[in-house]
Amino acid sequence: MKNETLADRLNMAMERSGMTQGALAKASGVAQPTIWRLSSGNAKGSTRIVDIANALGVRPDWLSSGDGEMCNEGQKPISKMVDADTNIYRVDVLDITVSAGPGTYMISDYVEVLHAIEFTTEHARSLFGNRSDDEVKVMTVDGDSMSPTLNSGDRLFFDVSMRNFKTDGVYAFVYGRTFHVKRLQMQGDRLAVLSDNPTYEKWYIAEDNQDQFYVMGKALIHESIKYNKL
């Protein structure tokens, strides 16, 4: 056990509990970006490890260092809260502004939910497929690097269960200490970071700097703030 990393143990406990990162964030009260960093190995520890362990139903000592048994006898994960109205699909709007520009400085690991957007389950299924509502989050665009596709102030719906680059598309990601929303495209052995606005130059994520990069989610749809006079 001790040879495993914190990320290995956390992902093992999440799989055992059936919790997604979003569900664990809600159950533990820990910000979702912190869960992302811990589960991807980009963070070596957290002051909230006890809260995370309790939500997962495992021993804090085991989760933190691999010491002892995974859980005490009879210890179980916190059950996911089920909405009484099963016809409502709620998407959280996060207090995060992702930069369509040179990058927005990441001030804190703690991200608050501003409010939620509600859909009927039927409408949500047409928009988001079979994704659960804790896998879809809304973030706001800032800057013009993705114009005309995305404009500053637009709201983007992301699949936050996608924590790694899989296929070409628009992603929210952290590079170093800054948030970005850009188009990612694999070119040879490097990941190109592209802006739809031609005045911005592309740049690359390669093997020597990939430890500074992690994905927060892949964009699904966007909601424009444009209002046109009739």
Q: How many CA atoms lie within 13 A of 43 on its CB side?
A: 17
Identify whether 70 is part of a domain.
no
Q: Is residue 79 scored above 70 in pLDDT?
A: no
pLDDT at 74: 73
Amino acid of residue 198: P
Q: Are residues 117 and 12 in the same domain?
A: no
Q: Are residues 122 and 207 in the same domain?
A: yes
pLDDT at 1: 45
Contact 4, 70 (CB under 8 A): no
Rounded mean pLDDT, 22-33: 82
Q: Are residues 93 and 142 in the same domain?
A: yes
Q: Are residues 137 and 205 in the same domain?
A: yes
Which residues are CB-neighbours of 208 under 8 A, at least 6 positions away?
Answer: none
Identify whether 167 is part of a domain.
yes
Q: Are residues 103 and 217 in the same domain?
A: yes
CA–CA separation, 217 vs 51, rounded Å? 24
Domain span holding position 31: 6-65
Q: Are residues 112 and 51 in the same domain?
A: no
pLDDT band for position 2 (50/70/90)?
Answer: low
Identify whether 80 is part of a domain.
no
Placement of tokens 């495209």 in the chain: 185
Q: Is residue 230 scored above 50 in pLDDT?
A: no
Placement of tokens 């989050």 in the chain: 137
Kindly state the DSSP code that residue 84 receives in the 8-state scheme. S
Using one digit for the tens of pLDDT, what is the confidence trace for 135-178?
899 999 989 999 999 988 899 999 998 988 999 999 999 898 88
Identify whether 78 is part of a domain.
no
Of 145, 166, 143, nearest to 153 (Cα)? 143
pLDDT band for position 111 (50/70/90)?
Answer: low
Of 192, 218, 200, 211, nearest to 98 (Cα)? 218
Identify whether 73 is part of a domain.
no
Q: Is residue 40 scored above 80 in pLDDT?
A: yes
CATH number at residue 34: 1.10.260.40
CATH number at residue 132: 2.10.109.10
pLDDT at 22: 79
Q: Are residues 43 and 145 in the same domain?
A: no
Using one digit for the tens of pLDDT, what is the confidence trace for 180-218?
999 999 999 899 999 999 999 999 998 888 888 989 899
Q: Are residues 140 and 52 in the same domain?
A: no
Q: Are residues 194 and 92 in the same domain?
A: yes
CA–CA separation, 168 vs 182, rounded Å? 11
Domain count, the chain: 2
Q: Are residues 48 and 114 in the same domain?
A: no
Q: Are residues 210 and 101 in the same domain?
A: yes
Q: Are residues 103 and 151 in the same domain?
A: yes
